[in-house]
Structure 1
């Protein structure tokens, strides 16, 4: 009798549909993860929507490639020129401004290139190249790498040689490398603030309008990739730009300093 009851119960349980948690695939930059923002931002959304966000943190270029191939549902990145091309080519839809901070040129206290306090980022990059002071580049087609290359181009300099190191790594790892080599690097301010207590690099140059760093969120085009989870993706985008999302973004701090600001 008991055996019959157990078997019947198991058969009923096996016949019941499995209610798996829905997953949203997000490709984003290493800066949003390294800064600690995602750990603050994602759990409230996951809890409210009974879902899980699978994060792939890479450079902006790689994140957009994942969107092109339909390997993710949403991208959260920071290279506006690349984002616009992504949308114009039909790979993404409904781009929205989310937040911003700025880039800073970091360097060792010894400041061998003599750039500390300059307000012109291009002039600073020029001095670094002329003195052949060590510069560690992301070298990974990220948003930060894209901005760095724009600065070299504006300076009329082709960065190459023993002084110029292409890491092919995320922002956190590059900060560690630049610190170990007593070199300069370009970083988003959010990741720098998150790592500031772990490294001896300081802000050498800031405030140039060319260092403005906006972030945007884009849904992968479901017309190209029908498997994109449109409803959940749109809910996530709505969340990021909602009052709740904006408060979480502006309220996130490290060492008492605000890392990101919401777009108007």
Structure 2
């Protein structure tokens, strides 16, 4: 089955008013690019759709944009990876409840020449400090995604503001993870990426994993039902059914069974 990824612009044009789409029950899931780039949704959603008869239409954008889309009512379910921002969505009343779904981790990748001399390290803050000291090229998503939020958090811990060097050794792509990795590959730059996208990425070129294993690189994903009290058009029953499946035994088993080249990409941890 070919997964249907719906552009945000299409949502804005009014999916809810399209008669043809209304013939089949469906929900819109605002989610991150990593769940798309990794192939996870292609693996897990057919099982839910076959069981429920509900079509799942995914809008895959950066976490920040996905959250804004959900706040605007352009979706029924939010599945992202920026826990503080997710908790704020619920606290502000835009989401009903947040639940853990799965986790993986981030890794720092970089060119084999390793000008910052960070390869084999397990301290992400020390590695970023070394990158800045060496003024080695660094490709940042710069798009308010979950990965970008995590990256900025590590820079803040280091006491370095890389945006002071924007356009020199620090390059903000304003793009998704795959596009940013393409930039990093092309210019021999370091980049922070979620491991699932990295393992699925086909243009590694001269890049390889430099730093991994720091507990601060833990990457948690959460799921939230968009609040129908704020947006009456939210398909609350169908959205909640998907959340219950995703965090229940079948969905969690489907997540755990997704592998690439023999490696598990996501680890379920609901409840």
Q: Give the alignment's TM-score, normalised by structure 1.
A: 0.91
| Structure 1 residue 226 corresponds to structure 2 residue 232 | yes
Alignment size in residue pairs: 247
Q: Report what 1:212 is aligned to.
A: 218
Distance of 2:181 and 2:259 partners within structure 1: 19
Q: CA deviation at 1:53?
A: 1.4
Structure 2 gaps of 5+ residues are 1-20
Q: Is contact 2:185–2:203 with CA below 8 Å preserved after alignment?
A: no
Tell whether 2:157 aligns with 1:154: yes
Length-normalised TM-score, structure 2: 0.88
Structure number with bigger Rg: 1
Per-residue deviation, 1:51: 2.3
User: Is 1:137 the equivalent of 2:140?
Assistant: yes
CA distance in 2 between counterparts of 1:112 and 1:32 reads 31
Equivalent residue in structure 1 for 2:115, among 68, 90, 112: 112
Structure 1 position 197, deviation (Å): 6.3
Structure 1 gaps, min length 5: 1-17
Aligned partners of 2:202 and 2:130: how far apart in 1? Answer: 24
Give 1:198 shift: 4.5
Partner SS state of residue 201, structure 2: helix
Does residue 51 of structure 1 match 2:57?
no
Distance 1:105 1:67, change over 3 A: same
Question: 2:75 is paired with a residue of what secondary structure?
Answer: coil
CA-atom RMSD, angstroms? 1.4
C-alpha distance in structure 2 between counterparts of 1:102 and 1:199, whole Å: 22
**Residue 244 of structure 1 aligns with which residue?**
250
For residue 201 of structure 1, the aligned residue among 198, 207, 212 is 207
Measured in 2, the distance between the counterparts of 1:19 and 1:47 equals 18
Task: Write the deviation string for residues 98-156 of structure 1: whole angstroms up to 9, x where unpaired.
Answer: 00000000001110100011111100000101111000001110000000000010000
Determine the structure 2 residue equivalent to 1:121: 124
Greater alpha carbon shift after TM alignment, 42-51 vs 111-120: 42-51
Task: Provide the C-alpha distance between the structure 1 equivalents of 2:122 and 2:204, rounded to a whole number of angstroms.
Answer: 26
